Homo-oligomer: A and B are copies of this chain.
Amino acid sequence: MDKNYYLGRRSIRRFTDREVPSALLDEILEMAGRAPTCGNMQLYSVVVTRDAARRRELAALHFNQPASAGAPVLLTVCADFARFTRWCEINHADAAYDNFLSFTSAFADAMILAQQITTIAEQSGLGTCYLGTCIYNAPEIARLLELPERMVMPVACLAIGWPDGEGVATERLPQRAWVHEERYRADADEDIVSLYKVKDEYPANRPFVAENGKENLAQVFAEVRYPRAMNEEFSAKLLSWLSF
């Protein structure tokens, strides 16, 4: 096992012009397809976007983040109960998977697959970056990629290509912050402050506070990057689109 890879893992947002061969991508997907899956149902699909014009359209739905606009390949990983449901219908089986429980199963399957693709692609020398915006514009991305309605939802988009540069190391909370022994440990406020010091004091994070006219990093997250109005607007859009 490559400990150095796991400990030093970084997202890559800039890529060279070098192509990602189809044979290499196929091999990565073949390996990733052996990842665990709920009841061996493989409740996922992957749409591969290579065409330049379509990449531009897709990148626009990812707010033209640099990783989306510059990657030679975008993989949209979808939670997919449509294929399985059609197989059931063909077999005269009473399939009921258009509900929230089934959505969570397919979501989990898709994320497991996405992370397996990420690890294997990176261990093949490629650089990757998740585009979390996939969920924000899920209905629009579904339309662009011609996903079947209702039971196929894009949940993760991966930008993939050959790294241009080494990426940027980011800080992480101490393990103690997120690992709990036997029961969830309700930390006192002073402990939370202490656990998040690594973020508050991380040199690369400091400029964001002044740039955004805020008092501290938490306000940058809660009021600029992931603000209430945005969260509530996109939540309403998604829930209405999914209509559980």
- How many Å lie between the Cα of A178 and that of B226 in the bound state? 32
Task: Please tell me if the beta carbons of A96 and B231 are within 8 angstroms of each other in the complex.
Answer: yes
A227 at the interface (CB under 8 A from B): yes
Copy tally for this chain in the complex stands at 2
Residue ID in chain B nearest A158 by CB atoms: B36
Q: From B108, B111, B135, B192, give the contact of A132 (CB < 8 A).
A: B108
Asked if A63 is at the interface of the complex by the 8 Å CB criterion, the answer is no
Residues of A within 8 A of B (CB): 1-3, 6-9, 11, 26, 29-36, 38-42, 44-51, 54, 80, 83-84, 86-88, 90-97, 99-102, 104-105, 107-108, 111-112, 114-116, 118-120, 123-124, 129-130, 132, 135-136, 145-148, 152, 155-156, 170-173, 175, 177-184, 186-187, 189, 192-193, 196, 215-219, 221-223, 225-228, 231-232, 234-235, 238-239, 244
